[in-house]
């Protein structure tokens, strides 16, 4: 298949070698930020080799967080890096898995679209991958495509073959291969070793791809003689061997890569001419991160605390809120299991603010409720997100509103007081249609996903934070606030400060007699950027700072 091209978009393909977790996502995002600093528009795509159709039903311990886009796509966490580092907006077209690709091909075969032919990996699967990539043609000046996994993985071979074919379709003027690899320092030998990189490039060459640029993950900058050695064995120019050194903070990566001139090499090879980059915003950002005036400690009470990647966007959003307040934010991840009945709450004592994030399942639920009660009773600033908001409603109902058996049907289907329940019908303001769901719907089909509008109430913490009467925020949840209890809770002192435009969906709740206590049904962390911190996180950190000073 050779798809007609607009010849407007140039494509950069990023592969990884040696081992996983080298930072392809951050490298891709940082390259995007460098190109934007030179006046170009960028978009991204992540191609994941796993068979799951999307990460929506995957355990966070295995995959990390599920990042949700405005259009309701449940995607890889690298989408978050792309949006935080650039102005690009991600959606359904920006993340494909093997499962999604194979599912599409199988459905076409069932419909007879292949006219009875034998359906094979080549050309049918690779054509489907190519078609997915080429959807981005014309959307931006440059499209940056990250191939998940490591070169040599059997499940990733169709993607490698597809981008090999794309080089022929696109030509060298419109395509570029960047390979991220590892140059380890062997402490006992006292030297860096290039052999892993040589073998990684050899594996890539065996698949028919010659990298144009090598980004070498190292602990310290590579000396010129080492770059020449790598260039010689890997068939690239020495100037195209880039040191991707370890940095103190992830927001230093664009500055580090700029220092190495990676954007100059990319533009040279793609035949693009631009002005000099404007790196001052990144320089100012890093300076503020390294020179905070204040310091607070935020306790995050969840059940995935052993893998902080499960809360990646949340972690970064809290850092962004700190940046906006010239404050270093120390994050204490506290297992909700350690706060269950019978356990002490000493881990919460030193926290200037407490946050209960989203999640699914009953494990640690009572521990989260105890953390919420502690924040309420001790006037500790509190932010509850998604499940955190729902449990804050349950805790308030049980201990303040006189509804001792209040619960969520997620955890107790027979509760006599379902404060949080499965709303079977609601109006979708994006489609203009009524949506329905029930217990028999597919696991992902029962979720309210993507961006929904929310109208704020005047003179509330939510309104003070946002400064506008209507907002749009991204959701990923199954259960809703039960309006049958709304009047009773409001009489007891809970304030509903944000709802859907028709008032049917409760989106934000607050407590009247508390320094700062707010729960939101949506996930504000998905729209926070280092240079544009989300208003709720800025307000939360400000409240924690003021409470600490009090």
User: In which element (H, E) is residue 142 found?
Assistant: strand 142-147
User: Could you tell me the CATH superfamily of domain 10-284?
Assistant: P-loop containing nucleotide triphosphate hydrolases (3.40.50.300)
Say if CB 274 and CB 38 are below 8 A apart: yes
Say if CB 362 and CB 381 are below 8 A apart: no
* Domain 293-421+481-499+506-549 annotated CATH 3.40.50.2000: no
Lowest mean pLDDT among 153-167, 417-431, 462-476: 417-431
Percent of the chain with pLDDT over 90: 76
Confidence of residue 62 (pLDDT cuts 50, 70, 90): low
d(CA 20, CA 149): 6
SS3 content of the chain, % helix, strand, coil (to 5): 40, 25, 35
Angle at 20 between CA 474 and CA 224, to 5 degrees: 115
Residue in 187, 162, 191, 147 with CA at minimum distance from that of residue 48: 147
Query: Has 113 been annotated as catalytic?
Result: no
Answer yes or no: is pLDDT of 267 > 60.
yes
Say if CB 302 and CB 336 are below 8 A apart: yes
Q: Where in the chain is the domain with CATH 3.40.50.880?
A: 293-421+481-499+506-549
| pLDDT digits 0-9 by tens, 93-114 | 999 999 999 999 999 999 999 9
Which candidate in 234, 477, 525, 534 is catalytic?
A: 525
> What average pLDDT does the chain have?
91
For 244, the token pair is 């991707």
pLDDT at 43: 98
Cis peptide before 38 (omega within 30 of 0): no
Beta-carbon contacts of 433 under 8 Å, excluding residues fewer than 6 positions away, are 427
Query: Has 386 been annotated as catalytic?
Result: yes
Query: Has 525 been annotated as catalytic?
Result: yes
d(CA 467, CA 535): 9
Which candidate in 315, 514, 523, 534 is catalytic?
A: 523
| Secondary structure in 3-state letters for 75-126 | ECCHHHHHHHHCCCCCCHHHEEEHHHHHHHHHHHHHCCCCCCCCCCHHHHHH
Give the length of the chain: 550
DSSP class of residue 457? P
For 295, the token pair is 């310091």
| pLDDT digits 0-9 by tens, 140-199 | 999 999 999 999 899 999 999 999 999 999 989 999 999 999 999 888 877 889 999 999
d(CA 302, CA 340): 12
Which candidate in 386, 473, 514, 534 is catalytic?
A: 386
Q: Where in the chain is the domain with CATH 3.40.50.300?
A: 10-284
DSSP class of residue 518? E
Backbone dihedral region of 506: left (phi > 0), alpha (psi from -120 to 50 degrees) or beta?
beta
Question: Cα 24 to chain center, whole Å?
Answer: 14
Say if CB 506 and CB 448 are below 8 A apart: no
DSSP class of residue 148? P
Strand-strand pairing, 433-436 and 425-428:
antiparallel
Question: What's the rounded mean pLDDT across residues 253-258?
Answer: 96
């Amino acid at each position: 298949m050779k798809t007609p091209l607009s010849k407007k978009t140039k494509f950069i393909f990023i592969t990884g070698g040696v081992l996983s977790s080298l930072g392809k996502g951050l490298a891709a995002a940082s390259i995007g930020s460098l190109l934007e600093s030179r006046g170009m528009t960028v978009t991204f795509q992540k191609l994941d080799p796993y068979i799951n159709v999307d990460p929506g039903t995957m355990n966070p311990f295995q995959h990390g967080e599920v990042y949700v886009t405005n259009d309701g796509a449940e995607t890889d966490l690298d989408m978050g890096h792309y949006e935080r580092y650039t102005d690009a907006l991600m959606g359904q077209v920006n993340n494909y898995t093997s499962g999604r690709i194979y599912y599409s091909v199988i459905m076409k075969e069932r419909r007879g679209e292949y006219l009875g032919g034998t359906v094979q990996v080549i050309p049918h699967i690779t054509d489907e991958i190519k078609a997915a990539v080429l959807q981005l043609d014309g959307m931006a000046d440059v499209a940056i495509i990250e191939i998940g996994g490591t070169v040599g993985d059997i499940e990733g071979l169709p993607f490698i073959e597809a981008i090999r074919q794309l080089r022929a379709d696109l030509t060298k003027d419109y395509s570029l291969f960047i390979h991220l690899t590892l140059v380890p320092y062997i402490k006992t030998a006292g030297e860096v070793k290039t052999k892993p990189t040589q073998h990684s490039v050899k594996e890539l060459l065996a698949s028919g791809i010659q990298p144009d640029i090598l980004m070498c993950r190292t602990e310290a900058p590579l000396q010129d003689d080492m770059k020449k050695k790598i260039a010689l064995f890997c068939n690239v120019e020495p100037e195209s061997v880039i040191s991707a050194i370890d940095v103190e903070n992830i927001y230093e990566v664009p500055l580090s890569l700029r220092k190495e001139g990676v954007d100059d090499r990319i533009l040279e090879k793609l035949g693009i001419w631009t002005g000099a980059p404007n790196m001052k915003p990144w320089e100012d950002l890093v300076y503020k991160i390294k020179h905070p005036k204040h310091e607070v400690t935020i306790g995050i009470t969840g059940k995935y605390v052993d893998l902080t990647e499960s809360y990646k966007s949340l972690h970064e959003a809290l850092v962004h809120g700190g940046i906006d307040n010239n404050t270093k934010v120390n994050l204490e991840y506290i297992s909700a299991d350690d706060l269950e009945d019978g356990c002490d709450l000493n881990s919460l004592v030193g926290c200037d603010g407490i946050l209960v994030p989203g999640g699914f399942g009953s494990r640690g639920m009572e521990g989260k409720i105890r953390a919420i009660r502690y924040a309420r009773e001790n006037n500790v600033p509190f932010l509850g997100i998604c499940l955190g908001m729902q449990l804050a409603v349950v805790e308030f109902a049980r201990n303040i509103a006189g509804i001792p058996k209040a619960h969520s049907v997620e955890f107790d289907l027979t509760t006599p007081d379902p404060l949080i329940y499965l709303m079977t019908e609601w109006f979708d303001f994006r489609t203009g249609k009524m949506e329905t769901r029930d217990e028999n719907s597919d696991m992902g089909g029962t979720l309210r996903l993507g961006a929904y509008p929310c109208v704020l109430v005047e003179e509330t913490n939510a309104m003070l934070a946002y400064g506008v009467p209507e907002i749009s925020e991204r959701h990923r949840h199954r259960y809703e606030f039960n309006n049958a209890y709304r009047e009773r809770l409001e009489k007891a002192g809970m304030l509903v400060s944000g709802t859907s435009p028709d008032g049917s969906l409760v989106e934000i709740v607050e407590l009247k007699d508390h320094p700062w206590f707010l729960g939101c049904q949506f996930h504000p962390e998905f729209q926070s950027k280092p240079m544009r911190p989300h208003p709720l996180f800025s307000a939360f950190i400000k409240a924690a700072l003021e409470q600490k000073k009090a």
